[in-house]
Amino acid sequence: MARFGSRISLPVLSSYLALLLLTVASPALAAKKNLFKTCDSSPFCRRNREYADAASCVKSSIWDPPYYIDPLTVSFDSGLLQGSIFKTIPDADTPIEFPFQLVFLESGSVRFLVDEKQRAQASRLPGFPDNLTQRRYNEASKWAVVGDLTPDDSASESSTAEQRAEGVFKIKYGPEKHFEAILSCKPFRIEFFRDGEAHVVLNDRGLLNMDHWQPEPPASTDTNKNEQNEFAEDKEEETQDTKQQPIEAKGAPTSSEWQDKFGGFTDKKPKGPEAIALDITFPSYEHVFGIPEHADKFSLRETRGGEGNHDQPYRLYNVDIFEYEVDSPMAMYGAIPFMQAHKKSSSVGVFWANGADTWIDIIKSEPADNAFSLRKSTKTHWMSESGVLDVYVMLGPDASSVYQQYGALTGYTALPPIYALGYHQCRWNYNSEEDVLEVDAGFDEHEIPYDVIWLDIEYTEGKKYFTWWKSMFPTPEKMMQTLAKRKRKLVAIIDPHIKKETGYKVYENMSKNELAIKTSEGKEYNGWCWPGESAWIDTFSPKAIDYWKDQFKLGKFCGSEPNLLIWNDMNEPSVFNGPEVSAPRDDIHFGNFEHRDVHNIYGMTFVNATVQALQARQPRQRPFVLTRAFFAGSQRLGAVWTGDNAAKWEYLQIALPMILSHGVAGFGFVGADVGGFFGNPTPELLTRWYQAGAFYPFFRGHAHIESKRREPWLFGEPYTSLLRNAIRMRYQLLPSIYTAFHRASFEGVPVVRPMFLLAPDNEDALGIDDQFFFGETGLLVKPIVEEGKTETDIYIPDDEIYFDYLDQTIYQGIGYHHIDAPLDKIPILARGGHILVRRDRYRRSSSLMNHDPFTLVIHLDKTGNAAGVLYLDDGETTAHARGAYLYRFFIFNAQDNILRSRSMQPTNQNIKSYEKTIDTVRIERIIVVGFDKTQLKKSGAVESFQDRKSWLTEIDVTEAGDGKASVIVVRDPKVVVTGDWSIQF
């Protein structure tokens, strides 16, 4: 949650916070502009942008970028092409050397890695601060990447000796050598081809730019240094001065960049400017996606101004941006520097493995007159404040392959425990044990299922984590035991800021053992957050991780029970009195790296430590941790939510594009606060939000401390029933949702899917981000996100047959189709060809459904076929990793009109023992939509076959007519889910 609640204690309101509060009282826009940097107030961004502008004014045949490769340094061996890039500097005899590697990976991706030679060497550079690590930070990949990074020696060189002599190196690689990388030395560029067509080009525009270490030039001792950041007039003057400069000079830092002042803070920059930048072009791709987190359209906009575009680059810098603006490229709580480009029948991706402040400009250029393709191309420009240049290129060929390739690098969504996919009830705050248990009982009274109730910061004694506010929570164990009776869980918040207070052991031992983030002077860094003065655990340190794990031990964390799970908030980190509401960039982390190098990674290391803590305390249970800050790889750890939104329609609208963006960037387990965090939703908004939220991968209602209570039954009828229906629909679909998460856990396919995943050829659908396909179900969902709206147009992206999920009305034909959507209706079409699996009985929580029978819902495609899968396990333990699960394939074949169930897993002992626990679970109902009853072999019945027996089951037939498809319902065919069976229609 963000900071401005009514419960802020007086001492916290010291002068600076009062100042902040004043800025917030002015319009939100102005407040944000003051608190957070723009590209102009970020010297490395402004400079690289000006460099790009200057370069684009010159014809490339005239401009000669200062970076080139000497072909004599280049060699290729066993999947690794390496050499050196050189930067010429005016008036210097020797160029600066940047060794590079182009690594061809077995997963089909290519890694391009560039370091700075002088800083990578062992001997100390004269003038380099001796208490900081000299090498550029090169561990972003270490934290983000879990895949194999060893070169694939099956990659082979395809360039001739002549081409090599001319400085052109060609390598064929990837599946059946369909991919080819072509590196040209001068001008330096790397093109990535698939089947003879270039899909990704690095340094297409020659914007590669890496600052090199040099001691602070004397001019910057001038007292005016860097003030142009804060005073526009100075900036103007400087622009005048630099107008006549050669283009190269625009790329080089001025002496002002050895120190950075912003918002009253001074960043000492002891290592000087060390930015990196590179342009990446996607030839004839008009749409790019990803790079969450931004509250913006799914298809990313251009960032250099113009109608409907942004004039600032998209920024990746984890910040606590409470009540964020929508339709903005501003930085938010998390950062995944992964971008996907999609065009007709083709998808590619790039991953920029860098954890520092990063800005990304996007422009789309018209095709050249003589161009082969008539499409625009997307040209991107990536700029990071520090670190090595480390970028991965994925060539698809389709979206699923891109996700698989990105997942092979950064890992996949951990399969969540099933309760985490149920409904979560949260509020800042449930104030006492009685409050918690009353809300818990309210769900049962109103027959609304839910799985988890949440505690925000107020449960603690003075915001000291691992303690309980005794007067309100005297017996937390008992409270959790009561919840456990319905197999429900409690999630409590634990943040990385640790209250600085004598006698508080968690702080004292952390401090004594120096496990906190340090200042540039090497002292413990203290700042303000919820508890007042605090220190931040430095989870880059293995000792700090061990210490953190220790705090959670069941015996040590008093009042905690096995059904207690964790929520990590404020882990950007949020520091109320820090620059950009975060830690100073010259703070120091484990390994003597500066905070600037690891800023976007910190939040992930903190969640990782929490996950390790939960695993250590209950090794057999799958952990659940929710985070607000994240980085590439965070998907391996748990769920994320989109932070502090508000109870306004535009936040309901923006949630979906945000969820789609997270999903394509590997982080599919995501949701937005249902109802809106700040403010009070109208009953209509709340209803529509539950209807949308029932399809968010992570489904949680949450509310700010100053908002009115809004538990799902508080608005009375018809709203209680509408909210109940939405939540129950979620629970019905849990088997299918769990199956989709299972697939995400090894293939990386998001649960909420953009149009292009099922209709990759339809370019008209690329900009559509207000509807989505849901998991494996084939359900095309378009939630209503506008006030007063009772109808909508839903876009069908392919020529498959679709059925209204609720009344079986048939829709067909690419384009928009009108559909009624009164307040009690969620517009959902079911795409022909899919079999979805439901559990239709109401239970109080998901774990109580474990032995309930299944319903199969079959929507036949144009040709009368359909297929689907079901993944099932115990839902909570790690036994599935040892094979204790069920994985079945259902197929309805139009040739013989037989529905078959087949196993998709190898048999082993663990399956057998798991199967035993569910061998009475049967399919209680089969619904077939779109089947022509004249095709029935026996009219009025179907014949089932299982275990060498056969029997007849009667059916109900609803005839087609009035635009609706026919429906056949088989009631209780008596087949059990664990075995193979078939049913003859």
Where in the sequence numbering do the catalytic residues fall?
Answer: 569, 572, 644
- CA dist 633 and 666 (Å) reads 8
Exactly one of 588, 765, 821, 928 binds ligand NAG (CB under 6 A); which one? 588
Relative to beta strand 834-838, strand 810-812 is unpaired
- CA dist 355 and 145 (Å) reads 13
| Nearest C-alpha neighbor of 804 from the set 633, 968, 563, 967 | 967
Distance of closest approach, residue 144 Cβ to ligand NAG, in angstroms: 9
DSSP assignment of 520-588, as one string? TTSSBPEEEETTEEEEEB-TTSHHHHHHHHHHT-TTTSTT--TTEEEEE-STTT--TTSGGGS--TT-E
- The interface region with ligand NAG, picked from 210-218, 230-238, 520-528, 936-944 by CB under 6 A, is 520-528
- For ligand NAG, give the closer residue by CB, 31 or 420: 420
- For ligand NAG, give the closer residue by CB, 637 or 836: 637
The residue with tokens 């889910």 is: 977
- For ligand NAG, give the closer residue by CB, 588 or 923: 588
- For ligand NAG, give the closer residue by CB, 46 or 549: 549
- Using a 10 angstrom Cβ sphere, with 0-12 exposed, 13-18 middle and 19 or more buried, the burial of residue 478 is middle
Site residues (CB under 6 A) for ligand NAG, limited to 145-204: none
- For ligand NAG, give the closer residue by CB, 214 or 432: 214
Biggest distance spanned by C-alpha atoms of the chain: 94
Distance of closest approach, residue 581 Cβ to ligand NAG, in angstroms: 24
- For ligand NAG, give the closer residue by CB, 39 or 637: 637
- CA dist 648 and 614 (Å) reads 36
Are the C-beta atoms of residues 923 and 969 closer than 8 Å to each other?
no
If one asks whether residue 596 binds ligand NAG (CB under 6 A), the answer comes out as no
| Nearest C-alpha neighbor of 907 from the set 886, 892, 924 | 886
- For ligand NAG, give the closer residue by CB, 380 or 608: 608
Report residue 666: phi and psi, to 5°. Answer: 90, -15
Distance of closest approach, residue 633 Cβ to ligand NAG, in angstroms: 6
3-state secondary structure of 592: coil
CB atoms within 10 A of CB 961: 8
- The interface region with ligand NAG, picked from 237-245, 357-365, 629-637, 954-962 by CB under 6 A, is 629-637
End-to-end CA distance of the chain: 54
Q: What type of residue sits at position 225?
A: K
- Using a 10 angstrom Cβ sphere, with 0-12 exposed, 13-18 middle and 19 or more buried, the burial of residue 165 is exposed
- For ligand NAG, give the closer residue by CB, 518 or 730: 518
Number of residues that bind ligand NAG (CB under 6 A): 11
Question: In this chain, which residue has its C-beta nearest to ligand NAG?
Answer: 522
- For ligand NAG, give the closer residue by CB, 588 or 647: 588
Distance of closest approach, residue 613 Cβ to ligand NAG, in angstroms: 11
Distance of closest approach, residue 601 Cβ to ligand NAG, in angstroms: 11
Site residues (CB under 6 A) for ligand NAG, limited to 678-697: none
Distance of closest approach, residue 512 Cβ to ligand NAG, in angstroms: 18
Exactly one of 217, 246, 522, 940 binds ligand NAG (CB under 6 A); which one? 522
Contacting residues for 870 by C-beta, under 8 A, at least 6 apart: 735, 736, 739, 837, 854, 886, 887, 888, 890, 977
- For ligand NAG, give the closer residue by CB, 127 or 175: 127
Report residue 595: phi and psi, to 5°. Answer: -60, -35
If one asks whether residue 127 binds ligand NAG (CB under 6 A), the answer comes out as no
DSSP assignment of 309-322, as one string? --SS-EEE-----S
Are the C-beta atoms of residues 106 and 147 closer than 8 Å to each other?
no
- The interface region with ligand NAG, picked from 189-197, 517-525, 705-713, 802-810 by CB under 6 A, is 517-525
- The interface region with ligand NAG, picked from 40-48, 630-638, 666-674, 705-713 by CB under 6 A, is 630-638
| Nearest C-alpha neighbor of 900 from the set 935, 954, 934, 858 | 858
Distance of closest approach, residue 568 Cβ to ligand NAG, in angstroms: 14
Exactly one of 521, 764, 793, 824 binds ligand NAG (CB under 6 A); which one? 521
Distance of closest approach, residue 497 Cβ to ligand NAG, in angstroms: 21
Q: Which residue(s) pair with 854 in the sheet?
A: 923
- For ligand NAG, give the closer residue by CB, 604 or 968: 604
| Nearest C-alpha neighbor of 668 from the set 607, 605, 733, 746 | 746
Report residue 483: phi and psi, to 5°. Answer: -60, -35
Exactly one of 413, 551, 563, 608 binds ligand NAG (CB under 6 A); which one? 608
If one asks whether residue 864 binds ligand NAG (CB under 6 A), the answer comes out as no
If one asks whether residue 545 binds ligand NAG (CB under 6 A), the answer comes out as yes
Build a one-symbol-per-residue string for 632-671: x at contacts with ligand NAG by CB under 6 A, - elsewhere: -x--xx----------------------------------
- The interface region with ligand NAG, picked from 372-380, 473-481, 631-639, 745-753 by CB under 6 A, is 631-639
Distance of closest approach, residue 520 Cβ to ligand NAG, in angstroms: 6
Residues of 734-764 as b/e, b for ≥16 C-beta within 10 angstroms? bbbbbbbbbbbbeebbbbbbbbbbbbbebbe
What 8-state DSSP symbol labels residue 849? Answer: G
Site residues (CB under 6 A) for ligand NAG, limited to 453-512: none
Exactly one of 34, 131, 239, 935 binds ligand NAG (CB under 6 A); which one? 131
- The interface region with ligand NAG, picked from 11-19, 283-291, 516-524, 898-906 by CB under 6 A, is 516-524
Are the C-beta atoms of residues 784 and 821 closer than 8 Å to each other?
yes
If one asks whether residue 129 binds ligand NAG (CB under 6 A), the answer comes out as yes
- The interface region with ligand NAG, picked from 180-188, 424-432, 519-527, 945-953 by CB under 6 A, is 519-527
Distance of closest approach, residue 526 Cβ to ligand NAG, in angstroms: 15
- The interface region with ligand NAG, picked from 213-221, 488-496, 514-522, 958-966 by CB under 6 A, is 514-522
Distance of closest approach, residue 687 Cβ to ligand NAG, in angstroms: 37
Residue ranges binding ligand NAG (CB under 6 A)? 129, 131, 520-522, 545, 588, 608, 633, 636-637
